[in-house]
Amino acid sequence: MNTGPRRVLVTGASRGIGRAVALELARAGFEIVLNFRSRADEAEAVRRAIEEQGGRARVLGFDVADRVACAAALEGELAERGALWGVVLNAGVTQDAPLAGMDGDAWDRVLDTNLGGFFNVLRPLVMPMVGLRDGGRIVVMSSVTGLVGNPGQVNYGASKAGLIGAVRSLALELARRKIAVNAVAPGFIETDMLAGLERDTLEKAIPMRRLGQPDEVAALVGFLFGDRAGYITGQTLSIDGGLA
């Protein structure tokens, strides 16, 4: 049994949903490891914000799509500070185009990051998490696109649907260890990922007629990390204003 603070890795934590999740979990008393790929200054700003609210955090830079670099960073983290109790897989990218006009690089980049990152991050962490003998939580950020599809996002939809299947299978593997594994499927959330899209058009497509907020997604993740959610595993929880 781990007697120290429960540590949680949040990938893609420098802004948007990842930032909101990191702040939410820090407020709940977790020590946060903030992953970033290229925005070290923004990750440091999140760390400072967590510390200003009385929490504990550190930053850890690596690209979830790079298997070798990912393994090196995580193995170093484990060797220095021990196993992680929880993981939020939030890092993701889009590179939209109709399939007929999509090049191979766009397909590979999205699948390697969004779906490959699941393997690259979790494989080094799962057995140390089991070794804690303290249960644990894994939450994976899928998308409404993985449930209902979206024109121009065949690559993104494939990656996010693949995550849902991966979550269900990993949940079965880890259930006896009391490690809960779930997916969250946001709809249109007000982040930089929506930059360039017409807000009025998006809102008209949403039954609730508004965009979601990162803090709302973070609150759902926070619930899944709480004691009252320990019997929920293998599930995909939508937070989309009624889209799916």
Q: Which residues are catalytic?
A: 156
Mark 50-73 as b/e (b = at least 16 C-beta within 10 Å): beeeebebebbebbbbbbeebeeb
Query: Would you tell me how many other CB atoms lie within 10 Å of the CB of residue 232?
Result: 15
| Helices and strands of the chain, counted as H and E runs | 9, 7
Selection from 14, 57, 19 nearest residue 36 by Cα:
14
In the chain, alpha helices (H): 16-27, 40-52, 67-81, 104-114, 116-131, 145-148, 154-174, 199-205, 214-224
- Could you tell me what percentage of the chain is helix, strand and coil, using 3-state DSSP and rounding each to the nearest 5? 50, 15, 35
